């Protein structure tokens, strides 16, 4: 065994034994970040989900990081050691690296000593469906009038349309910042595993027009356990959009197969398992359910379709993917109506609210569509979720939230598994059956064992299951 292989084996053994991140374990075993390591001063604009993970992970890698956000309350929370979002391991990472992290609302303060500025701001859709880049331009404006002698590069982590890099380069030049390099470094964050996917990614994509910027961003990721792919800026911008569109396509495809399975008597779980064994296809994202949600897949799929439409190309495949996903939670309501006849004055328990397990994120969650449709049908909604933060808006202001799944199901005419929370596998389903008025369960994530649920006395309905 070579020395390098032995070192990697020792690091992985420590990760498994202690729960340390790969980078922390590497440092502890090596004793230092390495002779060639050069810590940088990094300013991260946007302390949202992507910005916080990016800042915390760069600090973990040994860089000095300042995070800037326009929301004073968020900055006050971070300065007090509180984490405004839930992400496994993020709070520990922020606490462990507090000496290398600072927070501010002052853009000039963030930029003043920075060698690299990372842009991690929102780019929501406008009325036309195009990305709203106003926050991106605001970051560039904040560089004006500030001493930027140390600033070597502006790096785009926000999801932007292809061609944005050219516009940003021109804006930097117009602002007298021709000496500042530019690179695209798109994020491929998986919520619930964000820290791990940053420090041990499938790949780090870097788009740059010059070797200096590419080398700087590559060096920033020293200690990250994953391959680096350097390419042109436009290619990197497209990789982000295309990757999410392809993953969304796999989800919509298996949901269409599930619908055919329901009509023919096949079981989508068995079908998907066998499909996933093909090395050309793989098992990932072949889980039938209520469709995709979150901050990336819906937004990025629509953005790519709009971008294609702007070039005169109707992206028909992607349009079908989006349509299938939008219909999926509505199909669940129809299947419930087929069983109950009417939903008016029916008490329905929603088990899970967030768009996926392991996060408190409610953005584009299928539960919101389900709950809205139930309200429109006249149903009484009771829900449970361990982390969800739905805010003060309908349909959630009209729903009753409970501390446990069984409490939510008490007196219910039906229960719907909306999010694949592992806690639901531990529920006392015998107690739940006795607590319900009508023991009907719609398993929107195929999380539960149909045979066990039926043996317990439930009428069980899954997605794509006979």
Summarised one tens digit per residue, pLDDT across range 107-163 is 999 998 999 999 999 999 998 888 999 999 999 998 887 777 789 999 999 999 999
Task: Decide the pairing of beta strands 181-184 and 204-208.
Answer: antiparallel
As given in the structure block, the two tokens for residue 30 are: 């090596």
SS3 state at 267: coil
Sheet holding 228-231, edge to edge: 101-104, 64-68, 41-45, 116-119, 153-156, 181-184, 204-208, 228-231
Measured in degrees and rounded to the nearest 5, phi and psi for residue 59 equal -65, -40
pLDDT band at 227 (very low <50, low <70, confident <90, very high): very high
Q: Which helix (H) or strand (E) holds 366?
A: helix 366-376
Average confidence score pLDDT of the chain? 92
% of the chain at pLDDT higher than 70: 92
- Structure token digits, residue 189: 């964050």
For residue 182, pLDDT beyond 90: yes
Distance CA 322, CA 245 (A): 10
Which position among 120, 261, 296, 383 bears the catalytic label? 296
Tell me which residue of 436, 378, 384, 430 sits closest to 408, measured CA to CA. Answer: 384
Give the pLDDT confidence score for residue 29 in this predicted structure.
47
Cα separation, 438 vs 419, whole angstroms: 21
Whether the predicted pLDDT of 32 surpasses 50 = no
Backbone conformation region of residue 433, classed left if phi is above 0, alpha if psi is from -120 to 50, else beta: alpha
- Cβ neighbours of residue 178 closer than 8 Å, sequence gap 6 or more: 172
Asked whether the beta carbons of 119 and 142 are under 8 A apart, the reply is no
Going by CATH, does the domain composed of 268-461 fall within 3.40.50.720? yes
pLDDT tens-digit series, residues 233-245? 999 999 999 999 9
120 is catalytic: no
Distances from the Cα of 440 to the Cα of 265, 268, 388, angstroms? 20, 21, 24
Cβ neighbour number for residue 210 with a 10 Å cutoff? 12
Q: How far apart are CA 300 and CA 14, in angstroms?
A: 37
Average pLDDT over residues 407-433: 97
pLDDT > 90? residue 10: no
Return the pLDDT at 280. 95
Q: Specify the pLDDT at position 6.
A: 53
One DSSP character per residue, 404-438 reads SHHHHHTT-SEEEE-S--GGGGGS-HHHHHHHSSS
Domain with CATH 3.40.50.720 in the chain: 21-231, 268-461
CA dihedral 284→241→119→229, nearest 10 degrees, is 70
Evaluate if pTM is beyond 0.85.
yes
Q: How would you label 135-148 residue by residue, b for 16+ Cβ within 10 Å and e otherwise?
A: bbeebbebbeeeeb
Residue 35 has pLDDT above 60, yes or no: no
Q: Does the domain spanning 21-231 belong to CATH 3.40.50.720?
A: yes
Torsion sign (Cα): 437, 453, 253, 189: positive
């Amino acid at each position: 065994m070579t020395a390098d292989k032995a070192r990697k084996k020792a690091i992985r053994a420590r990760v498994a034994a202690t729960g340390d991140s790969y980078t922390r374990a590497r440092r502890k075993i090596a004793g230092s970040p390495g002779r060639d390591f050069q810590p940088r001063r990094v300013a991260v604009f946007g302390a949202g989900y992507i910005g916080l993970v990016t800042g915390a992970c760069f600090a973990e890698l040994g860089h000095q990081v300042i995070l800037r956000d326009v929301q004073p309350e968020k900055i006050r929370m971070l300065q007090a050691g509180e984490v405004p979002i839930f992400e496994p391991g993020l709070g520990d990472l922020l606490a462990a690296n507090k000496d290398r992290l600072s927070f501010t609302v002052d853009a000039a303060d963030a930029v003043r000593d920075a060698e690299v500025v990372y842009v991690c701001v929102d780019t929501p859709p406008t009325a036309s469906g195009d990305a709203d880049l106003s926050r991106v331009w605001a970051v560039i404006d904040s560089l004006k009038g500030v001493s930027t002698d140390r600033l070597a590069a502006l790096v785009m982590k926000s999801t932007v349309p292809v061609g944005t890099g050219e516009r940003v380069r021109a804006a930097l030049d117009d602002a007298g910042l021709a000496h500042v390099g530019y690179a695209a470094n798109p994020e491929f964050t998986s919520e619930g595993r964000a820290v791990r996917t940053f420090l041990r990614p499938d790949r780090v994509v870097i788009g740059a027009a010059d070797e200096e910027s590419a080398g700087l961003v590559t060096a920033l990721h020293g200690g990250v356990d994953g391959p680096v792919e350097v390419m042109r800026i436009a290619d990197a911008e497209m990789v982000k959009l295309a990757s999410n569109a392809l993953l969304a396509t796999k989800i919509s495809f298996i949901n269409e197969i599930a619908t055919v399975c329901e009509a023919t008597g096949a079981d989508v779980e068995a079908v998907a398992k066998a499909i996933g064994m093909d090395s050309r296809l793989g098992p990932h994202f072949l889980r039938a359910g209520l469709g995709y949600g979150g901050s990336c897949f819906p937004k990025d799929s629509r953005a790519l379709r709009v971008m294609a439409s702007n070039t005169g190309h109707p992206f028909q495949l992607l349009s079908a993917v989006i349509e299938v996903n939008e219909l999926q939670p509505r199909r669940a309501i129809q299947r419930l109506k087929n069983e109950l006849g009417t939903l008016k004055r029916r008490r329905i328990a929603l088990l899970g609210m967030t768009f996926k397990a392991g996060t408190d994120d409610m953005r584009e969650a299928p539960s919101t569509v389900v709950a809205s449709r139930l309200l429109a049908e006249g149903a009484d909604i009771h829900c449970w979720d361990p982390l969800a933060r739905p805010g003060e808006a309908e349909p959630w202001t009209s729903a009753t939230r409970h501390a446990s799944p069984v409490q939510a199901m008490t007196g219910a005419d039906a229960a719907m598994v909306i999010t694949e929370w592992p806690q639901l596998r531990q529920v006392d389903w015998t107690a739940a059956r006795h607590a319900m008025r009508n023991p009907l369960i719609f398993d929107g994530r195929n999380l539960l064992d149909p045979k066990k649920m039926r043996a317990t006395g439930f009428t069980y309905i899954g997605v794509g299951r006979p």
